[in-house]
């Protein structure tokens, strides 16, 4: 069975993790800082903070930006739950604007039209690896005193173009429009640490704060300790001493995971190059199918700069004369896995119950959901695998 996504693990990765296992540190050792530095360089950001998931990175982004009760955070409904849940974790109200039908990312026009005065942040999700319209989203947000949190979980290693800077590429994570960017290293993403995530920003104060929050809110720098009366039981401050000055979490990534991350990072460009080849092959092979829309990009050049985490085709199942379940079942029988990414988050029962969201709130996202089907896309797909997927998909039409 060819799954819709999977990790690519080489002998080098295994050797790197084994070496870490033989070292003095399984966690909290030197590989964390090394991974953070290499990653920051790779994406062009000043600071990187490694955490044990992108969900944790999104949560910390909310915390360091001071988002909380009474604030609204807007995101795209076509995303994984975590993009919106992070706002709820800090007591803010997650809200949604619609997608633009070309890139299937947050539509700035819908964002601006639905803007509410209590909106303090936009979580800009780079669906499938394609950057959302960051310059426009940031213009709208900043003019209203809000910040942009990039959810580049699909976009590790990806870059994009803008209308105002023709010929130039900007990196996800290293651009002037997102105030903080978060990345995921879950196995189906473009590189992996097992579970894992990264928060990047150019703001030192936010990076420092995120580091404190990822480890229980603990402070070890004597210069930051609370001044106490000499008679206080905690007045003696030796080498063991630390203070918890605010409520934090255990969001630490381990050295074992950072060893894997450092090793994967070296091959990230190769991984993405192969993803682009597979996407180009699918696009060519499906171009003539009237019932299938291949993924489109905002700028043609984005097809060659996107990290292509997902290949999501939009299928007109009515025109095809088959339900999505029938197509998925038939593909599975041919050894081809597929997945529906994503169920619009605002329509999840918890969101309907908690915030009163209902069908019709984001019509284009809801229509996209009806048609979406993600096909196998990962670097180790061979040309024969790709040909097999193409044949299995095309034959859906032939059989109808
Ligand atoms: C768009 C998006 N945001 C956030 C997340 C959360 O990432 P993680 O699984 O690393 O917590 C994911 C993971 O699937 C995602 O796809």
The pLDDT tens digits of the residues spanning 116-126 come to 999 999 999 99
SS3 256: helix
SS3 356: coil
Which of 56, 73, 82, 342 most suits a substitution to test ligand 1, by most atoms within 8 Å of the C-beta? 82
- The vertex-97 CA angle with 94 and 100, nearest 5°, equals 145
- For residues 95 and 119, is the Cβ–Cβ distance under 8 A? yes
- Cα→Cα distances 348→32, 80, 363, Å: 36, 11, 15
Q: Is the CB of 80 under 6 A from ligand 1?
A: yes
User: Which whole number is the average pLDDT over 350-360?
Assistant: 98
User: Which whole number is the average pLDDT over 300-327?
Assistant: 97
Q: Of ligand 1's atoms, which has the minimum distance to the CA of residue 57?
A: 11
Residue 399 has pLDDT above 80, yes or no: no
Nearest protein CA to atom 13 of ligand 1, as residue:
80
Tokens read off for 35: 């991974």
C-alpha span between 164 and 326 (Å, rounded) = 45
Tokens read off for 13: 């990765």
User: Which whole number is the average pLDDT over 137-141?
Assistant: 98
H/E element holding 101? none
For residue 400, the model assigns a pLDDT of 44
- The vertex-173 CA angle with 171 and 179, nearest 5°, equals 125
Would you give the end-to-end CA distance of the chain in angstroms?
A: 23
User: Which whole number is the average pLDDT over 105-113?
Assistant: 98
For residue 396, the model assigns a pLDDT of 97
Kindly report the average pLDDT of the chain as a whole number.
97
Look at the block and give the residue holding tokens 């829309």. Answer: 293
Other C-beta atoms lying within 10 Å of the C-beta of residue 300: 9
User: Which whole number is the average pLDDT over 381-396?
Assistant: 98
C-alpha span between 25 and 82 (Å, rounded) = 30
Q: Cis (ω within 30 of 0) for the bond into 342?
A: yes
Residue 130 has pLDDT above 60, yes or no: yes
Q: What is the pLDDT of residues 288-301, one digit of tens each?
A: 999 999 999 999 99
Q: Of ligand 1's atoms, which has the minimum distance to the CA of residue 58?
A: 4
Task: Work out the pLDDT band at 282, boundaries 50, 70, 90.
Answer: very high
188: DSSP letter: T
Q: Is the CB of 275 under 6 A from ligand 1?
A: no
Task: Work out the pLDDT band at 217, boundaries 50, 70, 90.
Answer: very high
Nearest protein CA to atom 15 of ligand 1, as residue:
80
Q: Is the CB of 53 under 6 A from ligand 1?
A: yes
Residue 358 has pLDDT above 50, yes or no: yes
Q: Give the 3-state secondary structure of 228-294.
A: CCCCCCCCCCCCCCCEECCCCCECCCEHHHHHHHHHHHHHHHHHHHHHHHHHHHHHHHHCCCCCEEC
Question: How many Cα atoms sit within 13 Å of 246 on the Cβ side?
Answer: 10
SS3 200: strand
Nearest protein CA to atom 16 of ligand 1, as residue:
80
Other C-beta atoms lying within 10 Å of the C-beta of residue 66: 13
Tell me the β-bridge partners of 122. 74, 148
- Cα→Cα distances 382→132, 376, 379, 388, Å: 30, 11, 8, 10
Residue 236 has pLDDT above 90, yes or no: yes
H/E element holding 121? strand 119-125
Q: Tell me the whole-structure pTM to 2 decimals.
A: 0.98
Residue 163 has pLDDT above 90, yes or no: yes
Residue 330 has pLDDT above 80, yes or no: yes
Q: 183: CA distance to ligand 1 center in Å? A: 8
Task: Work out the pLDDT band at 398, boundaries 50, 70, 90.
Answer: confident
- For residues 340 and 372, is the Cβ–Cβ distance under 8 A? yes
Q: Is the dihedral of CA 305, 337, 78, 89 positive or negative?
A: negative
C-alpha span between 95 and 75 (Å, rounded) = 6
């Amino acid at each position: 069975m060819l799954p819709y996504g999977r990790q690519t693990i080489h002998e080098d990765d295994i050797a790197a993790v084994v070496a870490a296992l033989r070292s003095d540190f399984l966690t909290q050792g030197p590989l964390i800082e090394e991974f953070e530095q290499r990653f920051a360089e790779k994406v062009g950001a000043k600071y990187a903070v490694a955490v044990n998931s992108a969900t944790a990175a999104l949560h910390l982004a909310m915390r360091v930006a001071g988002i909380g009760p009474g604030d609204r955070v807007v995101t795209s409904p076509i995303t994984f739950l975590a993009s919106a849940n992070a706002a709820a974790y800090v007591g803010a109200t997650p809200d949604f604007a619609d997608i633009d039908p070309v890139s299937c990312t947050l539509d700035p026009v819908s964002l601006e039209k639905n803007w509410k005065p209590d909106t303090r942040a936009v979580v800009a999700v780079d669906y499938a690896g394609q950057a959302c319209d960051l310059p426009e989203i940031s213009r709208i947000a900043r003019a209203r005193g809000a910040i942009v949190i990039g959810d580049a979980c699909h976009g590790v290693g990806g870059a994009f173009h803008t209308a105002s800077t023709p010929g130039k590429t900007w990196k996800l994570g290293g651009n002037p429009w997102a105030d903080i960017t978060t990345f995921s290293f879950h196995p189906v993403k473009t590189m992996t640490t097992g579970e894992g995530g990264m928060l990047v920003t150019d703001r030192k104060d936010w990076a420092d704060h995120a580091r404190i929050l990822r480890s229980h809110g603990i402070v070890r720098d004597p210069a930051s300790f609370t001044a106490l009366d000499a008679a206080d039981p905690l007045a003696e401050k030796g080498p063991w001493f630390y203070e918890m000055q605010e409520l934090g979490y255990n969001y630490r990534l381990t050295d074992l995971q950072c060893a894997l991350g450092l090793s994967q990072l070296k091959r990230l460009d190769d991984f993405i190059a192969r993803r682009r080849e597979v996407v180009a092959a699918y696009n060519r092979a499906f171009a003539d199918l009237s019932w299938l829309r291949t993924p489109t990009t905002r700028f043609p050049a984005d097809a060659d700069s996107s990290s292509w985490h997902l290949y999501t085709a939009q299928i007109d199942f009515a025109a095809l004369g088959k339900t999505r379940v029938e197509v998925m079942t038939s593909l599975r029988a041919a050894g081809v896995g597929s997945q529906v990414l994503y169920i619009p988050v605002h329509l999840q029962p918890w969101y309907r119950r908690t915030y009163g969201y209902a069908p019709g709130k984001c019509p284009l996202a809801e229509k996209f959901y009806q048609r979406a089907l993600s096909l196998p896309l990962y670097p180790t797909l061979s040309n024969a695998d790709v040909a097999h997927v193409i044949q299995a998909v095309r034959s859906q039409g032939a059989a109808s």
